[in-house]
Amino acid sequence: MSDPITSIRNLGPAFEQACAKAGIHSAQHLREMGPDEAYARILQAGTRPHFIGYYVLVMGLQGRPWNDCKGEEKKALRQRFDAIKASVSLKPETQIISDLDAVGVRVSADDLKPV
């Protein structure tokens, strides 16, 4: 049996759920993908981009505490994060949810089903 994503330092149940939604179901799979590809897939699956979430992932995959990221390293990770965000295209229904969430309107997938 493979290790759960929560076996990776810094990564808890909420991150594991986001990974599952993106088709990433084990710590080994996450390690093989690497942080950039994995985070892009997580965004494509509808998770809202968050820089801290990204660098927590990077630090965790390196076996480091999440708050170990500082200075120039943090600036470089911010550039990688911005590039990942810019490269991800969301499915139309995910984009609608993301746009509404950005303006403070919460909707569920059921709200978007045609009548």
CATH architecture of 5-88: Orthogonal Bundle (1.10)
Rounded Cα–Cα distance for residues 31 and 102 (Å): 30
How confident is the model at residue 33, as a pLDDT?
A: 96
Residue with tokens 């229904």: 93
Rounded Cα–Cα distance for residues 5 and 11 (Å): 7
Rounded Cα–Cα distance for residues 66 and 53 (Å): 9
| pTM, to two decimals | 0.76
Kindly state the percentage of the chain with pLDDT values over 90. 71
Using CA of residue 80, residue 30, residue 4, residue 93, what is the dihedral sign?
positive
27 within 8 A of 8, measured Cβ to Cβ: yes
How confident is the model at residue 110, as a pLDDT?
A: 62
How confident is the model at residue 2, as a pLDDT?
A: 83
Q: What is the pLDDT of residues 45-87, one digit of tens each?
A: 989 999 999 999 999 999 999 999 999 999 999 999 999 999 9
